[in-house]
Amino acid sequence: MNMRFSTLLATALVAGSISAFAQQTKAEVGDMLDGVKTGDYVTLNTTASPAFLCDTKTAYDFSTLTSLEDDAEKSFSAMWKITVIPGVGAAGTPTYSFENKLTGKMFAVKLQTNNKGASTAAATFDEEGNTEWAFNSKLGLYSVKGDSTFFFDNAYKLNAVKGGLDVALGSSAIPGNNAITPTALADKLELTLTPKIFNQITTSGKLIFANGKDVQDASVENFLKTKKWTAAAAEAKTAAEATTFMLATSDSTTSKNPYVLVVDTNYYTTASTNKLSHLIVDTLGAKPTHAALDGKYTAPTPEASYRLEKDKDGKVVKAIAVRPHASAMFTGKYYLKEDSIVLYAVNTAKATEVAEVVAKAEPYTYDGKDYLTVAAVKTAVGTALDGILSGVKTTVDGVIDAKTAPGAEYALTICEEEFKITYAASNYSYAVVSGATGVTGVTSDTWDNAKAALKADVDAYLTAAAGATKTAKKAVEDKIDALDGTTNGLDLTIYDATKVEIAYTAPVADKDAHPAYNKIDASVAYTGGHIALTVLDKNKIVITPAPVAIESEAAATAANFILPLIQPDFQIEEPEVDNTLTTIKDNLYRIKNADGKYLAVAINYADSVANWTRYDADFQALDHMPAYQWVVLQENATKTNSTIVMTNREYPEQSYEGVQLHKDDKGKIYYEVDKRKVYVTFEEVSAVAKSDTLLGYKNFDKDSLRVLTYTFNHFSPYDASHFIGVKSENDSVLTVKDYESAFKLQQVTDKAVRYGYEVKSDVAKRIPGLKNLYRNAYQVAVRDASANNGLNVFKNADNKFAVDEAGTNVRFYFKENNCDNGMHYYALVALSNDTTKAGVAENTKNAVLQAENMANINTSVFDIKPYDTPLYRRFNTALEKAVAGSEDAAKLLNFKETYRGEYLMDENNPKFQQTGIDFLGIWSEGKATGLSLHVDTAWVNRGLGYIKPQYLISVDRHEVAKVDTIPCNATGGHKHMTPDGKETTDANKCIHATPGKPGYVVAKYLVSFADSANVTDKATKEKPYMFGDYNRVGFVKAMYYKDMLIILTNGYEKADVDKLNPEAVIKAYKDAKIDGTWIKDLSKINDAHQTYTWSFRYVYPEKAASADKEDETVSFLIESQSGDGEVIAPKKGAWLKSQNGCLVLSDKKTSTFANAKTGGDNGLVFNLEVGSEENMATDNDAISTSEVSVIAGNGQVTINGAAGKKVVISNMLGQMKANTVIASDNETIAVPAGVVIVAVEGEEAVKAMVE
Average pLDDT over residues 1086-1106: 92
Q: Kindly state whether residues 264 and 350 are assigned to the same domain.
A: yes
Considering the domain boundaries, does residue 1180 fall inside one?
no
Of the listed ranges 113-117, 555-559, 877-881, 1242-1246, the one predicted with least confidence: 1242-1246
Considering the domain boundaries, does residue 575 fall inside one?
no
Asked whether the beta carbons of 897 and 1164 are under 8 A apart, the reply is: yes
By the 10 Å C-beta count (0-12 exposed, 13-18 middle, 19+ buried), 272 is classed as exposed
Average pLDDT over residues 912-933: 87
DSSP code at position 242: -
Average pLDDT over residues 1199-1205: 87
Average pLDDT over residues 612-632: 94
The phi and psi torsions of 1103 (rounded to 5 degrees) equal -100, -25
Average pLDDT over residues 195-216: 92
Q: Kindly state whether residues 228 and 255 are assigned to the same domain.
A: yes
Average pLDDT over residues 501-519: 77
The pLDDT, as a whole number, for residue 1168 is: 96
Distance from chain centroid for Cα 808: 42
Q: Kindly state whether residues 927 and 1069 are assigned to the same domain.
A: yes
Residue 879 pLDDT > 80 = yes
The pLDDT, as a whole number, for residue 465 is: 57
Considering the domain boundaries, does residue 972 fall inside one?
no
> Predicted confidence band at 463 (pLDDT cuts at 50, 70, 90)?
low
Considering the domain boundaries, does residue 696 fall inside one?
no
Q: Kindly state whether residues 1041 and 1127 are assigned to the same domain.
A: yes
> Predicted confidence band at 388 (pLDDT cuts at 50, 70, 90)?
low
Average pLDDT over residues 1094-1107: 90
The pLDDT, as a whole number, for residue 156 is: 85
Residue 1138 pLDDT > 70 = yes
The pLDDT, as a whole number, for residue 944 is: 87
Q: Kindly state whether residues 10 and 80 are assigned to the same domain.
A: yes
Residue 281 pLDDT > 90 = yes
> Predicted confidence band at 462 (pLDDT cuts at 50, 70, 90)?
low
CATH (domain of 132): 2.80.10
Q: Kindly state whether residues 859 and 719 are assigned to the same domain.
A: yes
Q: What is the pLDDT of residues 678-715, one digit of tens each?
A: 999 999 999 999 999 999 999 998 878 877 889 999 99
* Average pLDDT taken over every residue of the chain: 84
CATH (domain of 857): 2.80.10.50
Asked whether the beta carbons of 352 and 332 are under 8 A apart, the reply is: no
Q: What is the pLDDT of residues 577-603, one digit of tens each?
A: 778 999 999 999 999 999 999 999 999
Share of the chain above pLDDT 90, in %: 44
Structural domain including 301 reads 191-356+515-568
The pLDDT, as a whole number, for residue 65 is: 57
Of the listed ranges 141-145, 395-399, 902-906, 1166-1170, the one predicted with least confidence: 395-399
* Calpha distance 936→880 (Å, rounded): 13
The better pLDDT of the pair 495, 1207 is held by 1207
Average pLDDT over residues 433-452: 62
Q: Kindly state whether residues 952 and 1007 are assigned to the same domain.
A: yes
Cβ partners under 8 Å of residue 727, min gap 6: 733, 735, 737, 739, 846
Q: Kindly state whether residues 451 and 326 are assigned to the same domain.
A: no
Q: Kindly state whether residues 310 and 405 are assigned to the same domain.
A: no
The phi and psi torsions of 387 (rounded to 5 degrees) equal -90, 0
The pLDDT, as a whole number, for residue 162 is: 93
The better pLDDT of the pair 121, 966 is held by 966
Last residue of a domain, one of 472, 504, 536: 504
| 67-76, 172-181, 875-884, 1152-1161, range with greatest mean pLDDT | 875-884
Q: Kindly state whether residues 1031 and 1171 are assigned to the same domain.
A: yes
The pLDDT, as a whole number, for residue 18 is: 35
DSSP code at position 473: H
Last residue of a domain, one of 691, 726, 749: 691
Average pLDDT over residues 505-533: 85
Q: Kindly state whether residues 708 and 830 are assigned to the same domain.
A: yes
Paired sense of beta strands 441-443 and 316-321, if any: unpaired
- Grouping H, G, I as helix, E, B as strand and the rest as coil, residue 377 is helix
**Number of domains into which the chain is organized:** 7
Average pLDDT over residues 926-951: 91
Q: Kindly state whether residues 597 and 666 are assigned to the same domain.
A: yes
Considering the domain boundaries, does residue 296 fall inside one?
yes
What is the per-residue DSSP string for 597-653?
A: -EEE--TTSGGG--EEE---TTT--GGG-GGG-EEEEES-TTSTT--EEEEESS-TT
Average pLDDT over residues 1157-1184: 72
Query: pTM higher than 0.75 for the full model?
Result: no
The pLDDT, as a whole number, for residue 443 is: 67
Considering the domain boundaries, does residue 510 fall inside one?
no
Considering the domain boundaries, does residue 86 fall inside one?
yes
The pLDDT, as a whole number, for residue 5 is: 27
Residue 860 pLDDT > 90 = yes
> Predicted confidence band at 727 (pLDDT cuts at 50, 70, 90)?
confident
Q: What is the pLDDT of residues 162-191, one digit of tens each?
A: 999 999 999 999 988 788 889 888 888 888
Average pLDDT over residues 933-939: 96
Last residue of a domain, one of 642, 671, 691: 691
* Calpha distance 476→469 (Å, rounded): 11
Considering the domain boundaries, does residue 709 fall inside one?
yes
Asked whether the beta carbons of 847 and 841 are under 8 A apart, the reply is: yes
